[in-house]
Structure 1
Amino acid sequence: MSHPIEQLKQIMAQLRDPESGCPWDQKQTFDSIVPHTVEETYEVIDAIHARDWENLQEELGDFVFQAIFYSQLAQEQGLFDFDDVIRSVNEKLIRRHPHVFSDQVFADEAAIRANWEKIKSEEKSSAGREEQSILDGVPKSLPALSRAYKLQAKCAKHGFDWDTLTPVVDKVREELDEVIEAVHDTPPDPAAIEDELGDLLFAVVNLTRHLEFHPESALTRANQKFARRFQGVEALANQEGKSLDDYTLSELDRFWEQVKQREKNRGSD
């Protein structure tokens, strides 16, 4: 029996076979697979957050299949194949970890990180991909919160950052005031309001970064908490045999407070 990875590569090649393959797989392109890659990424994340290790195994398999699929498309176009992908990442990991794979010694983790960045810069320069800006390496397709975090972190490495928390908090307050001011303008300017909301979100991301949290993680926790509590509201409403639409907002708020109190009693949050 062939190695599992080799078998997966063979399966992929058969799926793409022009004569006997699967019609859906045959018509896929690099661009058409991207939405599926994004979806599979989030399914991996969901499994991790749920601590569902059996499902994580399955989702990681789907994730690996994405890499196999892209590599098959590249191979068909004479660009590279999956072995090239694995070979390049092996070489990169060894090259970027001289403190592990050679006798090179560094004073501390900060020195290791600085050398890592130096090696990355040299790699891009030798490949003709030298950055014109320190921000060029931040992927434009990142989710907006993550990209804001990365942009700020990149700038912070070069001294463009506040040293203390106070001005960071002040900036959040300032941006909130500007949102309120834009909302109350007569007539209101939707584009201006959106701009101010974006500035507020950017400032909040900076606050989470200074507090050493990631905005995606913080917002994920808030989303989970809201969904859990609203499902509790739904359960209380169902106990009375009525639809949510039959309740007033004040009645639903009362259910919400009951759910919050129940969580506090359980020490949930």
Structure 2
Amino acid sequence: MPLRQRSPQSVGSITRGTTNPNRLRRVDRWLTGPQRYRLRRAGKPLVVDLGYGAAPVTAVELFSRLRTVRDDVEVVGIEIDPVRVAAAEPLARPGLSFRQGGFELPLEGRRPVVVRAFNVLRQYGEDEYEAHWEQVRERLAPGGLFVDGTCDEIGRRSAWVALETTGPLSLTVSLRFGTFTRPSDVAERLPKALIHRNVAGERIHAYLQALDRAWLGAAALASFGTQQRWVATCAALRADGWPLLDGAARWRLGEITVAWDAVRPR
């Protein structure tokens, strides 16, 4: 549970802060892949790593990865714990900085084109996430993106919701091949908006069940490798009418993205 200590100026609570190098590689690969256009079209791209945790490694990695898309991108790591901010300062450099704050995004009026918050909101109550979603969305640049996600300790299983100023767009699941028995193994890593909704009658439950059925239906392809079986699984889901927003190029990475309306809470 988060430690319920609050800064008078900052919105949020100090979380456990667990982090590991390369933990967020899957979402970063998505940001530099199908979402790279957001950085390319921005005048002066500002990106926030919100709640980077006890060590700033994920913010440093994000900075390095995004610089392959735009060499002028600026990354700001925001943490509510001033001790963590002070510890990160030695790693600051041109284009990468750290500051204390929370969901209010203390950016002196500047609007980020991307805000990434991973393993942050899952530590809050189910009655809290929507208010924080709205607060961050209101501060995005036009066409900006807020990514609220969760992953396991070393980034093998990840899931994230993508939101624009108008609201949620999609849910992405990204799994490392060989680390799951069924796709629904990702259930324990669903974002806060969905993790308690994986029950009969909810859309996310129906979606994960459909993924599992398609996975079992593609079992004959297992001898050709997990990647081939996963691609067939995703293709079967699309054929069944699920509104998938990506294709084989992403599926081959162990990733699948579905429109939010197909999984949103009832």
TM-score with structure 2 setting the length? 0.24
**Higher RCO, 1 vs 2 (CA within 8 Å, ≥6 residues apart):** 2
Task: From the CA coordinates, give the structure whose radius of gyration is larger.
Answer: 1
TM-score with structure 1 setting the length? 0.24
